[in-house]
Amino acid sequence: MEKYTFTVTQENKGQRIDKLIPSFDQEWTRSQIQTWIKEENIQVNGESVKGNYKVSEDDEIVVMVPEPETLEVVPEDLNLDIVYEDQDVLVVNKPRGMVVHPAPGHPNGTLVNGLMHQVKDLSGINGVIRPGIVHRIDKDTSGLLMVAKNDNAHESLVKQLQAKTVNRRYKAIVHGNIQHDVGTIDAPIGRDKQERQRMTVTDEQSRDAVTHFKVLERYDHYTYVECQLETGRTHQIRVHMKYIDHPVAGDPKYGPRKKSLPIDGQALHAGVLGFEHPVSGEWLEFSREVPEDMEQLLKRLRR
């Protein structure tokens, strides 16, 4: 059983505890929280509470997460857009809204469920829940991912990521006008102490993170940019763009809450992916245009 401790901030005071806790971790559902409360796995200031308890500022919440049940990955025909495939590696274009691998609350409809249906062999290094998965992109980010079909290929691709030789370029629409045509954001990223679901720029328990950006187009209140990852931290582009006061448009976690845009999720697309083939050594590079909803948003901004 894992134990997590949170302190309620002024911003969150007055909220029901069964609504607040799921905001700390995207894999925790409200129904899970309500079950844990009934099982007295959640305490406030050392005492058990009910699901309708309204938190106060400086309350100390302790969440004791039971050992996870074993998930069975069921193959599903999700008609994945496989851009490239050979006997060692494949590249898939993940749609926005699709989770990469099964987790509590997301047992079905994930990229892994679809891969299990369409692909004969996948590496087993990451276990039965994440077969073939070398790196991830967020649920509401679309774009290209490389997948390993055997363990040797998996190890090679991971080493390339660690050596920062993989070419990963994203297109993003961000709030405000970025004045510089090009720039580099070099700022370490770690987990937000107040909200575990969020990452933030911090010097405490963080890892180095570097994002290079180039302005493609400017509009009245938005900028279209291309971002190149030098490192691959959780939510890196989203956190870095917020850090320079230009959060990604449509981002429900790091962007302005009152801004409504005709797009479901953040306007962020992993459009270019390049790497060395793990066996032949040949350089492979693939690209995919932004999805239709993001293209429609660009057309609207250009008008």
Q: How many CB atoms lie within 10 A of CB 79?
A: 10
Residue 208 DSSP symbol: -
Q: Are 88 and 153 in contact (CB under 8 A)?
A: yes
Strands (E), 28-115: 42-44, 47-48, 60-65, 81-85, 89-94
Q: Are 166 and 134 in contact (CB under 8 A)?
A: no
Catalytic-labelled residue, pool 18, 25, 59, 138:
138
Active site residue 138: yes
- How far from 7 is each of 57, 63, 142, 214, CA to CA, in Å? 8, 11, 34, 38
Instruction: Name 286's Cβ contacts closer than 8 Å, sequence gap at least 6.
Output: 83, 84, 91, 144, 272, 273, 274
Q: What are phi and psi of 186, to 5 degrees?
A: -115, 95
Strands (E), 176-301: 182-186, 189-191, 199-201, 206-207, 210-218, 222-229, 268-276, 283-287
Q: How many Å apart are CA 104 and CA 233, to the nearest integer?
A: 22
- The maximal CA–CA distance of the chain, rounded, in angstroms, is 60
Which of 24, 23, 15, 25 minimizes the C-alpha distance to 49? 15
Q: How many Å apart are CA 212 and CA 169, to the nearest integer?
A: 9
Catalytically active residues are 138
